[in-house]
Amino acid sequence: MRVLGIETTCDETAAAVVSDTLGGENGEILSNEVLSQIARHAAYGGVVPEIAARAHIEVLERLIVRALANARIELAEVDAIAAAAGPGLIGGVLVGLTAAKALALAAGKPFIAVNHLEAHALTARLTDRLDFPYVALLVSGGHTQLVAVRKVGDYRRLGSTVDDAAGEAFDKVAKMLGLPYPGGPQIETLAQDGDPQRFDLPRPMLGRPGANFSVSGLKTAVRQEILKLGALSDQDKRDLAASFQAAIVDVVVDRVRNGLRLFSEQEGRPSGLVIGGGVGANSAIRRALTRLCAESGLRFISPPPNLCSDNGAIIAWAGLERLRRGITNDLAFAPRPRWPLDSTASDAHHGKA
């Protein structure tokens, strides 16, 4: 089966075609077209929803045509059309969702509304042969949570941020240091030449029961160090970046360790730990989680960085996973700016895309 996937939840416009492989265990990406809007938002230090929505309108049709052409198929040859229906910036979500519905109606194809978080949680099944159940760490500018992935459509939140998302913290600390948007890659680059022990920054939630995250106090601590220093030298910036990143890594490892313990107590041994979302591309976090899983003999799957950030291939794959189970949606499906994976969990802090 082949599914066309559309992604417009934030500041990437994307369209892709994904096919299942022989036996259906893994997927094959036939095309994956992504157009970033970073340049449009850089001057504002973050994503401006109205600008993002207009940009999606301008380029989405072209990307869909390109995705079909590079996959060497016609629209009539796809088996379904999937779109990220949330969570995310409502203007952008509307653009992709409306386009997908129109194409499905015109081509007489099934329409599938995909939860953007579910797409990240299922990416490891696109790239690696992984059986249910497993644990997914979803980290980006809009969300930070640990999820028990039982099967397609069945998720239980193990822990989430009680204040800000990790990606937001990276961006705000980068802004404090005078670095351009997006801040995550800038912090990671600076940290490579910094001293992670120079600044004694807090590790919020470290050692506490449960698997919730907190980063707000860490951001405040960085600001206090900057105020103490006054004018920042280049080395100050490198050392602050390294110290901040080291604190984030320590918190993530501690929270994930607790989350894995909770999962084992309640669900049994997981088949693995996977990471998804833009912050999942951070190499320091990946290395630390690789070590954590090696210690416990657990499989760690970190999809390629281009599949951790927003893209159409993961939307198409989530749609394909649902289609194989006979799950589709009618054209009345409404966009959801907030859409927790775990419907029984509190709606607070689950984040956007």
Question: Could you tell me the CATH number of the domain that includes residue 225?
Answer: 3.30.420.40
Q: Which residues contact 276 (CB under 8 A, 6 or more apart)?
A: 120, 121, 123, 124, 136, 137, 138, 139, 303, 308, 314
Tokens of 11: 């500041």
More confident residue, 130 or 43: 130
Query: Kind and range of the H or E element at 53?
Result: helix 49-71
Residue with tokens 């993961």: 314
Task: Decide if pLDDT at 219 tops 60.
Answer: yes
95 and 73 share one domain: yes
Nearest to 351 by CA among 175, 150, 139: 139
Q: CA-to-CA distance for 204 and 215, rounded, in angstroms?
A: 6
Asked if residue 117 is part of any domain, the answer here is yes
Say yes or no: 286 and 145 in one domain: yes
Statement to judge: residues 174 and 110 lie in one domain: no
Q: Facing residues of 19 across strands? A: 2, 28
pLDDT at 182: 87
Question: Does the pLDDT at position 350 exceed 50?
Answer: no
Residue 338 is assigned to a structural domain of this protein: no
User: Which residue range forms the structural domain that includes residue 162?
Assistant: 132-302
**Does residue 191 lie in a domain region?**
yes
Yes or no: say if 154 and 148 are a contact pair by the CB < 8 Å rule.
no
Q: How many residues does the chain have?
A: 353
Asked, for residue 251, whether it belongs to a domain, the answer is yes
How far apart are alpha carbons 59 and 7 in whole angstroms?
12
**What is the pLDDT, as a whole number, of residue 349?**
42
Least confident of 70-74, 167-171, 261-265, 346-350: 346-350
Q: Are residues 69 and 166 in the same domain?
A: no
Residues 58 and 91 in one domain: yes
- Radius of gyration of the CA atoms of the chain, in A: 20
Residues 288 and 317 in one domain: no
Model confidence at 348, pLDDT cuts 50, 70, 90, reads: very low
Number of domains into which the chain is organized: 2
Q: Does the pLDDT at position 276 exceed 70? A: yes
Q: Are 6 and 312 in contact (CB under 8 A)?
A: yes
Task: Give yes or no for residue 43 having a pLDDT over 90.
Answer: no
Are residues 178 and 294 both part of a single domain?
yes
Other CB atoms within 10 A of residue 57 CB: 17
